[in-house]
Amino acid sequence: MRSVEQQLALVTEATVSPEPVRIAIADALGLMCAEEVQATRSLPGFPQAAIDGYAVRAVDVGGERGLGVPEPDPEAPVEPIERSLPVVGEVAAGSQQPLRLQPKQAVRVHTGAPLPTLADAVLPLEWTDRGRRRVTAHRVVRSGDFVRRAGDDIQPGDVAVTAGSVLGPAQIGLLAAVGRSKVLVYPRPRLSVISVGRELVDIDRDPGLGQIFDVNSYSLAAAGKEAGADVFRVGIAIGEPRRLKEIIEAQILRSEVIVITGAVGGQGSEMFRTVIEELGSIDTSRVAMHPGSVQGFGLLGEEQIPVFLLPSNPVSALVTFEVFIRPLIRLTLGKRNAQRRVVRARAVNHVASREGRRGFVRARLMRDADTHDYLVEGLGGATGAPAHLLAGLAEANAMIRVPEEVTEIRPGDVVDVMFLSQGS
């Protein structure tokens, strides 16, 4: 029996990266950049006002040239002054009208407005009487105060976004700031989900005697989308071996990852595994975990596409997806933390687990109102709670990780808990 770590190592070694594609930056959120993006122009592209106020020459309001202080505090106490200057114009953000400032003059400017020629500082509104024809300065500004110089943020040739970085909101904004409408990225991995089982019917039909709804293709497709994959739900695959082989071959051509549920355990899975093994190598060794110990993994086709064989039980299938398939998808997306966030929490009820297998027990994670410590309530695997019921998993926002040597968790024990909530 293989350990969870050994199985995970086999899976992560099979991480594949789809061929890069160039897409609009509006569609690139969460994807890994496949190129180094260099700025071709300065950012900002011109000297501009960093605050609403008046563009002035610092020497005209008691300041000195060349002594600019970065990001001065408008609230900082300074010695008051009284200097009055005529206001000879107004410049709004986006103005394209060049304006030249003469000595002992002021121009009203708005945040982001281009600075008039000869102006070297902005006098904040709060430091003046807010005059329209003449403005009286109550405090000193020095050269460079409240001014964004051209190229302060980025110079031509600077690297705006590095290859291999994941594009978040800040990176998307930076691409827009340097004028890039498209970017080369590694696309989301394509995940195909197939259900196997003659007992299965789709949810738009009424199940007859001995039949059940196809739950897994829907739940696993949703899990794939939540992990960041581009998912194609094949649905139920039934028929003769030749037809099953055609279905799998079609998904090998269109996918980076394939998940087949119901293909391990039971007599019906034998024929399916025989078909799969004609296309590549599949290992169905048991994994020392509960639920989900019966599973398979291998590489199919010339492209060696990772293929997972999951049990038919919905809870076992989802737990196996969380432990092995989700990390593979996250690594393919370039995420640094492929695993869910794990915290330490104090158990509030008894939880049972199988000796020699790592338990993944669905749970409800909470915070203590007084101490703010994490508390966790086991929902599956708890005493008297069957581990296979899907309703309990739907209520869970976390899973307790129970070590292989532990068979019981008591109230008050501190355990590792893995978040399940979206975005964790």
- For 79-122, write each residue's pLDDT tens digit: 567 889 999 999 999 888 888 889 999 999 999 999 999 999 99
Q: What is the CATH number of the domain that holds 179?
A: 3.90.105.10
Q: Dmax over Cα atoms in the chain, in whole Å?
A: 94
Q: What is the CATH number of the domain that holds 138?
A: 2.170.190.11
Backbone torsions φ then ψ of 79, nearest 5 degrees: -70, 125
Condensed to tens digits (0 to 9), the pLDDT of residues 292-315 reads 999 999 999 888 999 999 998 999
What is the average per-residue pLDDT within 61-76? 57
- Tally Cβ neighbours within 10 Å of residue 171: 20
Whether residue 3 contacts residue 288, with contact meaning beta carbons closer than 8 Å, is answered with: yes
Does some domain include residue 357? yes
> Tell me, what's the pLDDT at 383?
45
Residues 367 and 267 placed together within one structural domain of the fold: no
- 275 has pLDDT over 90: no
Instruction: Check: pTM over 0.85? Answer yes or no.
Output: no
Q: What is the CATH number of the domain that holds 409?
A: 2.40.340.10
CA 54/CA 108 separation, integer angstroms? 4
Q: How many residues does the chain have?
A: 424
Contacts of 116 (CB under 8 A, 6+ apart): 55, 89, 91, 99, 100, 101, 107, 109
> 194: closest CA among 140, 118, 245, 135?
245
Residues 213 and 350 placed together within one structural domain of the fold: no
Residues 352 and 253 placed together within one structural domain of the fold: no
> Tell me, what's the pLDDT at 164?
87
What is the average per-residue pLDDT within 386-404? 77
Does some domain include residue 179? yes
Domain endpoint, select from 148, 173, 204? 148
- 340 has pLDDT over 50: yes
110-116, long-range: CB < 8 A, 24+ apart: 110/49, 110/52, 111/49, 111/50, 111/51, 111/52, 112/48, 112/49, 113/48, 113/49, 114/46, 114/47, 114/48, 115/46, 115/47, 115/48, 115/49, 115/55, 115/147, 116/55, 116/89, 116/91
> Tell me, what's the pLDDT at 16?
77
271 vs 18 pLDDT, higher one: 18
- 345 has pLDDT over 70: yes
> Tell me, what's the pLDDT at 423?
45
Does some domain include residue 198? yes
Residues 78 and 130 placed together within one structural domain of the fold: yes
- Total structural domains within the chain: 4
Residues 29 and 178 placed together within one structural domain of the fold: yes
Confidence of residue 384 (pLDDT cuts 50, 70, 90): very low
Domain endpoint, select from 128, 148, 168? 148
Residues 173 and 26 placed together within one structural domain of the fold: yes
Residues 293 and 211 placed together within one structural domain of the fold: yes
Condensed to tens digits (0 to 9), the pLDDT of residues 205-247 reads 988 898 889 999 999 999 999 999 999 999 998 777 888 889 9
What is the average per-residue pLDDT within 339-345? 93
What residues make up the domain containing 361?
A: 342-419
Does some domain include residue 76? yes
Does some domain include residue 11? yes
Give CA separation, 143 vs 57, 61, 85, 108, 140, in Å. 7, 10, 17, 17, 10
Residues 268 and 328 placed together within one structural domain of the fold: yes
Question: Taken in order 278, 282, 285, 291, is the CA torsion positive or negative?
Answer: negative
> Tell me, what's the pLDDT at 322?
95
Q: CA torsion angle for 93, 96, 101, 106 (degrees, to 10)? A: -30
> 332: closest CA among 164, 172, 162?
164
> Tell me, what's the pLDDT at 386?
53
Question: Taken in order 369, 371, 374, 377, is the CA torsion positive or negative?
Answer: negative
Mean pLDDT of the chain: 87
Q: What is the CATH number of the domain that holds 193?
A: 3.40.980.10
> Tell me, what's the pLDDT at 284?
85
How would you classify residue 372: left for phi > 0, otherwise alpha for psi between -120 and 50, otherwise beta? left
Whether residue 63 contacts residue 82, with contact meaning beta carbons closer than 8 Å, is answered with: no
CA 20/CA 30 separation, integer angstroms? 14
Distance of CA 312 to the CA centre of its chain: 29
Does some domain include residue 239? yes
179 vs 380 pLDDT, higher one: 179
CA 325/CA 255 separation, integer angstroms? 14
CA 244/CA 246 separation, integer angstroms? 5
Confidence of residue 390 (pLDDT cuts 50, 70, 90): low
Condensed to tens digits (0 to 9), the pLDDT of residues 137-174 reads 999 999 999 999 988 888 888 898 999 888 999 999 99
Residues 227 and 283 placed together within one structural domain of the fold: yes
Please, what is the Cα angle at 350 between 345 and 355, to 5 degrees? 95
- 411 has pLDDT over 70: yes
Whether residue 286 contacts residue 293, with contact meaning beta carbons closer than 8 Å, is answered with: yes
Residues 318 and 381 placed together within one structural domain of the fold: no
Does some domain include residue 29? yes
- 71 has pLDDT over 60: no
Residues 193 and 318 placed together within one structural domain of the fold: yes
Please, what is the Cα angle at 359 between 404 and 409, to 5 degrees? 80
- 53 has pLDDT over 70: yes
Max mean pLDDT range (22-31, 41-50, 381-390): 22-31
> Tell me, what's the pLDDT at 393?
65
Residues 11 and 101 placed together within one structural domain of the fold: no
Domain endpoint, select from 333, 353, 383? 333
Does some domain include residue 424? no
| Cβ neighbourhood burial of 212 (10 Å; 0-12, 13-18, 19+) | exposed
